[in-house]
Structure 1
Amino acid sequence: MSQAQTEQQSGTYQAHFRVWRGDADAGELADFTVEVHEGEVVLDIVHRLQATQAPDLAVRWNCKAGKCGSCSAEINGRPRLMCMTRMSVFERTETLTITPLRAFPVVRDLVTDVSFNYAKAREIPSFVPPPELAPGEYRMQQEDVGRSQEFRKCIECFLCQDTCHVVRDHEENKAAFAGPRFLMRIAELDMHPLDAAPESGLDRKATAQDEHGLGYCNITKCCTEVCPENIKITDNALIPLKERAADRKYDPLVWLGNKIRRRTE
């Protein structure tokens, strides 16, 4: 029996990997041949690579269950979670290239500095509690809960941030653009029926447009395509937020109402 036939029966085979090795100054793709067993995911192979050939390979991971978002990387150029990418989706003869997230600075090997995202998170004004209600008195209709519950599934893997070309291809945009993950957060708060931001003088639609770069998004849906939680980021968060922001800024009746209000104040 040939080696190919033995591998076919046992489910075990040798796979060719190219893994980026280096740091912020320089690096290159290194070639490895690693054993693969039936049912394994890419992160399993990376762990075996560390155990058998490259003990100094840097990789970030935690839960190995697709819920912490730590093991984000690019596999054959596509942003993915390594723990949720099964080896069975690739041909056995295919070379798998694993590289760090391209939109963020490399720390070492597959580990990137994603602090950009935490800085953007701090720029988003938080939920404003309704002043007339005490904690424990909040009540919402299930329909309202359902509208924003989808966005709460986000595990902050930052794959959407990585694949967004506004961030990925234009470093100069980062200062003015929050990215899809945090524009989705603004959209969630803007549709929250208990958020008292308007009463406090905060217009989330205005800040999304003027401070967080909503206008940079041209709804290519690449963020939605890579989301491991299957959140419809573009259709359910960004497009509706754009529509509400446009109504506020460009609707002639709203514009006239604002003019009249200013004259009477």
Structure 2
Amino acid sequence: MSATASTQYTAHFRVWRGDQDGGQLEDFSVEVHEGEVVLDIIHRLQATQVSDLAVRWNCKAGKCGSCSAEINGRPRLLCMTRMSIFTREETITVTPLRAFPVVRDLVTDVSFNYTKAREVPSFVPPPGVAAGEYRMQQMDVDRSQEFRKCIECFLCQDTCHVVRDHEENKEAFAGPRFLMRVAELDMHPLDAAAETGLDRKKTAQDEHGLGYCNITKCCTEVCPEGIKITDNALIPLKERAVDRKYDPLVWLGSKIGRRGGGGQD
């Protein structure tokens, strides 16, 4: 057997085909070459067997987040899942993201995430400081930079059981990706939201559903960028929110402030 022949084999794939009205898994036998990823196989299926197979993709380099799907039930990027992690005898099942409505085949409607993104108030610049004059400690830069690595693949949103298993929670729960955004802004040393009356810890709890998160770390486990969403964003945000809510000095200050405001009217 030649070296070329030994690196090629035929794999068994099961791919979900359908649309919002329903569908089913279909079986395919498809050629696999050395060094390929699952997206390569999906493209080969399009080229040789099912030309109308719908799949969303763009960069094929793990940076655009477009090719999110579920492979053997686990949320993954098709372009970053190497065929070498599977045995040659294994059946590989590819399905659309379960937490979002299907458009067609492997393409889902992820507009829920863009709605949630718009609900998070943006960074508030510090008053009297021009954009080019911002100064931060390097440790603060590093902390925010971890969260800025997010490629908007929404795998964390898909695997979070609060969203995945409970459609009714979507209205009240932003999901790990956008709670991470709130956490990033809340810990940002230059964010002046508090000076405008915006309490990010309070809004995280009251408007973005922080209390729904029970820190199972499933979001961290599927993040292709290795962001420690739970440990570095969600848990610290929960701790700060609890401190604010139950700290007796904070409570007393809010009462005095309210009384003082009433006296001035």
TM range (shorter): over 0.9
Structure-2 residue corresponding to 1:59: 55
Q: Which of 221, 229, 242 is equivalent to 2:217? A: 221
- CA distance in 2 between counterparts of 1:46 and 1:82 reads 9
Which 4+ stretches in 1 moved above 4 angstroms?
6-9
The residue that corresponds to 1:38 in the other structure is 34
**Residue aligned with 1:229, SS:** coil
Of 243-252 and 233-242, deviating more is 243-252
Aligned equivalents of 1:97, 1:135: Cα separation in 2: 49
Describe how 1:75-224 pairs up with structure 2 within 5 A. 75-224=71-220
Query: CA separation of 1:134/1:85 partners in 2, compared to 1, >3 Å: closer, same or farther?
Result: same
How far residue 256 of structure 1 moved from its aligned partner, in angstroms, is 2.4
Question: What is the letter of the counterpart of residue 91 of structure 1?
Answer: T
* C-alpha displacement of 1:252: 2.3
C-alpha offsets along residues 70-123 of structure 1, whole Å, 9 cap, x if unaligned?
000000000000000000001110000000000000000000000000000000
- Does the CA contact (< 8 Å) of 1:7 and 1:13 recur in 2? no
How many angstroms does 1:203 deviate by? 0.4
Counterpart residue number, 2:229: 233
Identity %: 85
How many Å apart are 1:138 and its aligned residue? Answer: 1.1
Give the superposition deviation at 1:135. Answer: 2.2
Aligned to 2:162, what secondary structure does the other structure show?
helix
- Structure 1 residue 69 corresponds to structure 2 residue 32: no
Local SS of the residue matching 2:177: helix
SS in 2 for 1:38: coil
1:221/1:8 CA distance change after superposition, 3 Å: farther
Which segments of 5 or more consecutive residues in structure 2 lack a partner in the other structure? none
How far apart, in 1, do the equivalents of 2:78 and 2:55 lie? 10
What amino acid maps onto 1:64 in structure 2? K
Classify 1:168/1:7 alpha carbon distance in 2 versus 1 (closer, same or farther; 3 Å). Answer: farther
Stretches of structure 1 that go unaligned for 5 or more consecutive residues are none
Q: Deviations over 1:39-88 (max 9, x none)?
A: 10000000000000000000000000000000000000000000000000
CA positional deviation for 1:8: 9.3
TM-score w.r.t. the length of structure 2 is 0.96
CA positional deviation for 1:262 = 2.7
- Counterpart CA distance in 1 for 2:4 and 2:206 is 58
What secondary structure sits across from 1:103 in the alignment?
Answer: coil
Q: Distance in 2 between matches of 1:247 and 1:107?
A: 43
TM-score, normalised on structure 1?
Answer: 0.96
Kindly indicate whether the alpha-carbon contact (under 8 Å) linking 1:208 and 1:214 is maintained by their aligned counterparts in 2. yes
Instruction: Supply the AA of the counterpart residue of 1:16.
Output: H
Give the CA deviation at 1:7: 8.7
Per-residue deviation, 1:137: 1.3
